[in-house]
Amino acid sequence: MFDPASTSAEALTAALEAAFLREIRWRYDADNRLRFGGRLVAPVFVLSDAAAHLGRWHAATRTLELSRTLVMSRPWLEVASVLEHEMAHQFVDEVLRIRGETAHGDTFRRVCADRGIDARAAGAPAPAGPGGDAGDAGERVLDRIRKLLALAGSPNQHEAEIAMRKAHELMLRHNVEVAAARVERSYEVRHLGDPHKRRTRVESDIAALLSELFFVKVIRVPIYLPQVGKSGIVYEIAGTHANVEMACHVYAFLLATADRLWAENRHDTRVRSGRDRLIYQSGVIRGFRDKLVAERSGLQQTGLVWVGDRDLDRFYHARHPRITHRRTQVRINGAHAAGREAGRTVVLHKPVERGGSSVGPRLLRG
């Protein structure tokens, strides 16, 4: 339950509030076209100081209400999820005209499931409970992977490489077996990247790597920053809880590793100047991909072949019915080759946390 900030009502100036409501109307119209076939009629949008709920559809007054506390204190993913949730209520009420069910009855849940919408109204789409991700199996596997990644931080290169390969095999085996068993799974969504900054080629390369080899779906999405009245771009990742946790770790780890390797090797004779930084770091990500692809090829010889997750595909396309694909190119030069060479030596591991200190990211729970 939200603990409202005492100053939330004052934090939005009249201009920012008006800009936010315009953004909400734009988002409503877009979702109406893509997810509801344009069958909804726009209601009146209202920001309230309500503390007991995040959003509410008022049928009698045709009002869609959002909490100011939600707007000011929570990420845009959660704001958008609550908006979608209330739109689903409106659809059940005004389009389907269902009257004999509870507010979150079977029809409402089906409307949400068909459109990749969070039926719980608790913020970002996530598993309904610990039973998600094929029961507790996903959490057990994630705990084992955490332990292997801790071993992969060994100063002994040989031991570190073995631990990383075992973690890779464990991830692949778990996902292949769960997909083959057709076990019901729940999926969650998270955003990666700082929306205040421009996305870089390096981040794009990492996102592509996650989508290809870490059992998640990744897409660039626009978000809105109500505190400053501006838009930004982030990466949205979707998958089971265990896979999303792992993907978040890999994203942060590779960004930090690319920065570290650039600092260590920027005086390589193949690097001409500081302007080669992103080209070098893109090479690091490509080199790490080369390493994982080689490992995956070896694992395929043991019968572990990943053919995809059809349920995740459906969830992803329900959330994003219309997807545009774009190709980008990176300049291949000596700096890229140097980065690729360094990337092939990278060992994915869990960062060592400083005892008793909050400094530094905690990327995976230990």
Give per-residue pLDDT as tens, 110-133.
999 999 898 875 544 555 444 444
Asked if residue 211 and residue 329 are part of one domain, the reply reads yes
Total-model pTM: 0.83
Question: Is residue 2 assigned to a domain?
Answer: no
Asked if residue 156 and residue 110 are part of one domain, the reply reads no
Question: Is residue 195 assigned to a domain?
Answer: yes
Asked if residue 171 and residue 63 are part of one domain, the reply reads no
Strands 230-239 and 217-225: antiparallel
Asked if residue 291 and residue 179 are part of one domain, the reply reads yes
Residues in Cβ contact with 290 at an 8 Å cutoff, skipping those fewer than 6 apart: 340, 343, 344
Question: Is residue 104 assigned to a domain?
Answer: yes
Question: Is residue 360 assigned to a domain?
Answer: no
Classify the phi-psi angles of 137: left when phi > 0, otherwise alpha if psi is within -120 to 50, otherwise beta: alpha
E strands present in the chain: 44-48, 55-58, 63-67, 188-192, 217-225, 230-239
Q: Which two tokens stand for residue 208?
A: 């592509």
Question: Is residue 306 assigned to a domain?
Answer: yes
Q: Mean pLDDT score of the chain, rounded to an integer?
A: 85
What DSSP designation does 300 have? H
pLDDT tens figures, 290-332: 999 999 998 888 777 888 899 999 999 999 988 888 777 767 8
Edge-to-edge order in the sheet of strand 230-239 = 188-192, 230-239, 217-225
Question: Is residue 210 assigned to a domain?
Answer: yes
Question: Is residue 154 assigned to a domain?
Answer: yes
CATH number for position 17: 3.30.2010.10
Classify the phi-psi angles of 340: left when phi > 0, otherwise alpha if psi is within -120 to 50, otherwise beta: alpha
Specify the higher pLDDT residue, 8 or 234.
Answer: 234
Asked if residue 104 and residue 146 are part of one domain, the reply reads no
How high is the pLDDT of residue 121? 57
Asked if residue 161 and residue 107 are part of one domain, the reply reads no
What DSSP designation does 93 have? I
* Count of structural domains, the chain: 2
Distance CA 202, CA 288 (A): 12
Asked if residue 206 and residue 66 are part of one domain, the reply reads no
Name beta bridge partners: 67: 48
How large is the angle between the packed helices 334-343 and 241-265, nearest 10 degrees? 130
First to last CA, the chain: 26
How high is the pLDDT of residue 301? 80
Asked if residue 290 and residue 225 are part of one domain, the reply reads yes
CA 178, 181, 186, 189 dihedral sign is positive
Asked if residue 311 and residue 260 are part of one domain, the reply reads yes
13: pLDDT strictly greater than 60: yes
Q: Cβ distance 201 to 282 under 8 Å?
A: yes
Asked if residue 306 and residue 231 are part of one domain, the reply reads yes
Which amino acid is present at 252? A
Asked if residue 320 and residue 268 are part of one domain, the reply reads yes
Question: Is residue 354 assigned to a domain?
Answer: no
pLDDT tens figures, 42-93: 999 999 988 778 899 999 999 999 998 888 888 899 899 999 999 999 999 9
146: pLDDT strictly greater than 70: yes
> What range does the domain containing 315 cover?
137-343
Asked if residue 312 and residue 168 are part of one domain, the reply reads yes
